[in-house]
């Protein structure tokens, strides 16, 4: 098996790993059910509830 000629420096290792990490999902509290839900997304469960009740006008979120 091929083996690297030189060990990678701490700096090179750090630069490579600078792209490796995931960012946490932003959460907010749903105004209808008070659960934690991702921002900028319609909460599907509450959307169904909202449409079933036939409440007119804009969604509360």
Q: Give the footprint of Zn ion on this chain (CB under 5 A).
A: 30, 32-33, 43, 46
SS (H, E, C) 12-48: HHHHHHCCCCCCCCCEEECCCCCCEEECCCCCHHHHH
Residue among 17, 14, 52 at smallest CA distance from 32: 52
Cβ at position 4, least distance to Zn ion in Å: 51
Cβ at position 43, least distance to Zn ion in Å: 4
> Which lies closer to Zn ion via its Cβ, residue 8 or residue 41?
41
Cβ at position 23, least distance to Zn ion in Å: 23
């Amino acid at each position: 098996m091929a083996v690297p000629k030189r060990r990678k420096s701490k700096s090179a290792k750090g630069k490579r790993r600078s792209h490796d990490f995931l960012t946490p999902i932003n959460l907010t509290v749903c105004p209808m059910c008070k659960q934690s839900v991702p921002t900028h997304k319609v909460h599907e469960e509450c959307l169904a509830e909202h449409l079933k009740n036939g409440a007119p006008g804009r969604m509360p979120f």
